[in-house]
Amino acid sequence: MTAAYPTDFDLHLFHEGNLFQAYDLFGAHLSRIDQNIYTSFCVWAPHAKQVRLVGSFNNWNGEGYSLQKVNNEGIWYIQVQKNLEGELYKYEMLTETGETYLKTDPYAFFAEERPGTASIVYSLEGYKWHDQLWQNNKKQSAIYEKPLCIYEVHLGTWKRKEDGTLYSYRELADQVIPYVKELGFTHVEVMPVTEHPYDRSWGYQGTGYFAATSRYGEPKDFMYFVDQCHVHGLGVILDWVPGHFCKDAHGLHRLDGGYSYEYENSWDRENYIWGTANFDLGKTEVQSFLISNAVFWLDYFHIDGFRVDAVANIIYWPNRDHLEVNPFGLKFLKKLNKAVFQFDPDVLMIAEDSTDWPQVTAPVHMGGLGFNYKWNMGWMNDVLKYMEMHWHQRSDHHHLISFSLMYAYSENFILPFSHDEVVHGKKSLLNKMPGDYWQKFAQLRLLMGFLMAHPGKKLLFMGSELAPFSEWKDLEEIDWHLIEYEMHQKFREYFINLLHLYKRAESLFELDHDPRGFQWIDVHNTKQNVYSFIRRNKEGSPLIVICNFGEYGYENYRIGVPEVSWYEEILNSDKKKYGGSGQINPAPLEAKKGDFHGQPAYVHMTIPPFGVVYIQPKI
């Protein structure tokens, strides 16, 4: 417990844009002097004429609680000779024009539960972590060569209590972790837990960037959630939104009467699509704020990585008739990634980027943006467009499945079926599939099998394992009742078996980012809508994948294979226990020598309708 008075060096770094642990200075901090505990407050408010501290400890009357202006660049500070832990507070900003703004602390560690908006004095010290083994293993793990399958979860609607109230972070830890482990995922991605006023923004319109939302408990309860994930072998990725912020009156918007955190120019500032304000990423103090925020979640909460939201909104200026590069955004992303990797070389920095900007996942020193992963939005859009077509139309759109391999190794990709694809009238994955009841389930099993076999890491939204007919309703829990129905039960069993197979089969992940890991067998069968390809591991061992996107099954289907051997079926989505018709290959398949599909041997096998089959040489 140390005093947090701003030093000249701190101030220099902050205004330079290089104070990457600004949370140790700004916000509310407890300090011990002799035998007494004091509470200090520090805020950056360059447009304020006066700043006063108000709260539950002074009846919200700032008389006698004026902050001292530390420098001419707008940093204000006060030390209160009281232990104010647990007290509510805000900053009363008096502007040059005589207006008064009552604002929450941009660096507050905790906030009042909605609909309240006050900050709370809170100490993050004292949590005892139990994740040393996880941290050690992470340092020894080459994530690019490991399976990575992410379960995207919105904590408020994963599950609700019977009375409709929310589970706490601790209660969620006890329920989410064993469930996700059973499914077979390697990581949980939590949609933003930064404090936000409106439930249906899902956390993407924040007001408290340093405060884990009080909806589910205290910040130390969220530490427990992360800690327990690590203890049980799950990584935790946090959705993070450094491009824009909420315009609610108590937040960052016009914090001190001026535009401190946002662009001065309204055309650049206003994010008309989302009703938010864009961060001024060229402002050095904003850079210190945002980069410190990323470091903060790594430092205090042991987060394993970030899915950085709306990167396109950072690379390009908003509100333009054509794409116009924002040089401030580009420089910020590079600076962010360099700083984060310097703090933690093993972090996952994942760009949710819908653009074709090159070298997003290349290091900054090689001309890249410095992320180590990027969502493959092109693959997702193409594949879902293809799957939503009636199968009679698919022959004319064969490229929608094959085109992704033209650029699959240009970046380190994650293949996402996220919440964005199953909300706001887009329909659930199951309901995107054409056809009758059986055909929908068969095609969804096929889609999942293709996802797991395609080069790239994986992400799926919560509830995918249940195959819901309804899209995500975002105010209610996911459709747990579906598990009572036979086809949904069978789909869930398939889903679990598929994910666990994915994690065992090195050919499906070791060379995700290396062209040696993929080879087409037959990419030209447009008439039958059948694709076949090989995935290989570092040793070169093949796993053969056959995807039939058509309505007919085939017996004695001939397919080229890379070696003369006996092949065994290790996955067939058409098994009856999965809800299929039972068109499988129960006995080993004998490969015969002879050139076919450009391979030195071939097998005859059964290909089910709307099915995916994995085979490999029998050991």
**Separation CA 157–CA 177 (nearest Å):** 16
Residues 6+ apart with CB under 8 A from 514: 409
Label the pairing between strands 457-461 and 413-417.
Answer: parallel
Cα gap 13→406, rounded to integer Å = 44
Catalytic residue among 195, 227, 262, 352: 352
Distance CA 196, CA 203 (A): 6
Contact between 229 and 235 (Cβ < 8 Å) = yes
Strands (E), 130-286: 149-153, 187-190, 194-195, 208-212, 235-240, 244-245, 270-271, 276-278
d(C-alpha 378, C-alpha 513), whole Å: 17
3-state SS class at 46 = coil
Burial profile 459-469: b = 16 or more Cβ within 10 angstroms, e = fewer: bbbbbbbbbbe
Q: Closest Cα partner for 580 from 391, 436, 387, 442? A: 442
CB 405 within 8 A of CB 532: no
H or E element at residue 332: helix 327-343
Q: Single out the catalytic residue among 152, 239, 262, 309.
A: 309
Name the region of 245 (left: φ>0; alpha: ψ -120 to 50; beta: rest).
beta
> What does each C-alpha distance from 172 to 56, 178, 224, 228, 405 come to in angstroms?
31, 10, 10, 10, 39
DSSP 377: H
Q: Which residues pair with 393 in a beta bridge?
A: none
Go through the chain and tell me how many residues it has: 619
Alpha-carbon distance of 276 to 573, in angstroms, equals 44
Question: Does 309 participate in catalysis according to the annotation?
Answer: yes
For the annotated catalytic residues, the residue numbers are 309, 352
